[in-house]
Amino acid sequence: MSLETDIERMKMQELRLRFERFSAEQAWELGSRLRDAAVALNAGMAFEIQVAGLTLFAAVTDGATTGMQDWIRRKRNTVMRFGKSSYAVGRELDLAGTTLEARQGLALADYATHGGGFPIRLRGTGLIGSVVASGLPQRDDHNLVVEALASMLNVPRKDVALEE
């Protein structure tokens, strides 16, 4: 799992995992898939789906901690600022040997380059919001979101999964 391979794969994920339209009902379905996956893993997690600044879904599972809400806020900020997954931003910075603070002057108190934040995009329109998970190791947070999106959009997991 080289940085270059991860970055290319995440670019492809962000191209494939797009919606024709996105409604509050779809946010509920996506969020429920994420929450159900966390329950199946017996993992304390927090989730948020936001579109145009409006929170359409937010949930936690048993074992979630208060710090997870701050991770969600920071990952969401990263997705909305850069228009890509928070994990992709982090991997690109790792490859460049730098940080958000050094490259962009952005405070780590407000932005996180860890896995779990993913853009919600409409085909032909662009970025409309974000889906964010927090509670697992960062690669697992990212993969959980990607797998839920792929399942909902009928994209085979093997077509979008990161290498193990």
Annotated domain spans of the chain: 3-160
pLDDT of residue 163: 84
**For residue 104, what are the CA distances in angstroms to 3, 24, 157?**
20, 33, 34
Res. 45: pLDDT tops 90: yes
Query: pLDDT-based confidence at 36, cuts 50/70/90?
Result: very high
Instruction: Check if the beta carbon of residue 31 is closer than 8 Å to that of residue 49.
Output: yes
Q: pLDDT digit string (tens) for 61-112? A: 999 999 999 999 999 999 999 999 999 999 999 999 999 999 999 999 999 9
CA distance 24 to 110: 27
Q: pLDDT digit string (tens) for 121-159? A: 999 999 999 999 999 999 999 999 999 999 999 999 999
pLDDT of residue 164: 77
Q: Residue 143 belongs to what H/E stretch?
A: helix 138-152
pLDDT of residue 12: 96
CA distance 90 to 65: 23
Res. 1: pLDDT tops 90: no
Rounded to an integer, the average pLDDT of 109-118 is: 98
Homologous superfamily assigned to 3-160: Haem-degrading domain (3.30.450.150)
Phi first, then psi: give them for residue 110, nearest 5 degrees: -115, -15
